[in-house]
Chain A
Amino acid sequence: DAKTTQPPSMDCAEGRAANLPCNHSTISGNEYVYWYRQIHSQGPQYIIHGLKNNETNEMASLIITEDRKSSTLILPHATLRDTAVYYCIARSGNTGKLIFGQGTTLQVKP
């Protein structure tokens, strides 16, 4: 599995875009990048995933660099309810396990 590195914490102003970086320099060709988040006292929630191309859904956008060694999760208009721990995971789609790291604690401030 590729090791992922995320900053431990970030702040973002409400209404602004939140850009959460993730480094995965040892990622291999068949490893997807996943993003989950965990709001306090709840189970993790899936946000988005990608392999090579940038992806967008109703929650967020995922930008993956051309060399696939890093990615950025973008919450376009952060709200107070987006305050959570965000996990970036790189894992082969051939296996069922996902290994979570420490994640980034995003604090959205009014």
Chain B
Amino acid sequence: DVKVTQSSRYLVKRTGEKVFLECVQDMDHENMFWYRQDPGLGLRLIYFSYDVKMKEKGDIPEGYSVSREKKERFSLILESASTNQTSMYLCASSFPPGRGRSSGANVLTFGAGSRLTVL
């Protein structure tokens, strides 16, 4: 079964700590995404990547960075965690439009999520 695997389901960190959230996909997808989800705000896009070593800012990139050294792995980094970064973090991946069974559309496969609490 194809998968997007997020390394940690639950994390508790302290303010100021550096936090790494890892995401690995086994579907040979070019595109990878990081979202965060908060009650009443829905899913918001943080960063995404269309290829190895490339990244683009989403709608809320402040306080985050990402790394894509290998095609299958996309890491989200919180350089200095703050309490307002307490959230559910969701990783997703997809083929670019035109590849895969989705023809011209863009179908995302999501991981199970990582719930981060910053104290």
Residues of A within 8 A of B (CB): 32, 34, 36, 41-46, 49, 51, 91, 93-103
Asked whether B113 lies within 8 Å of A43 as measured between CB atoms, the reply is yes
Quick one: which of B43, B50, B106 contacts A93, CB cutoff 8 A? Answer: B106
Cβ-defined contact, B106 with A98, below 8 A: yes
Give the docked Cα–Cα distance between A95 and B48 (Å). 11
Give, as a whole number of angstroms, the nearest-CB distance from A88 to chain B. 12
B82: CB under 8 A from chain A? no
**Chain B residues at the A interface, C-beta cutoff of 8 Å:** 4, 31, 33, 35, 40, 42-43, 45, 48, 50, 58-59, 90, 92, 94, 96-97, 102, 104-113
Which residues of B lie under 8 Å from residue A101 when comparing CB positions?
42
Which of B105, B110, B113 is A49 in contact with, Cβ under 8 Å? B105
CB-based contact A51/B94 at 8 Å: no
Nearest first, the 5 A-B pairs at minimum CB distance are: A43-B110, A100-B43, A93-B104, A93-B97, A32-B105
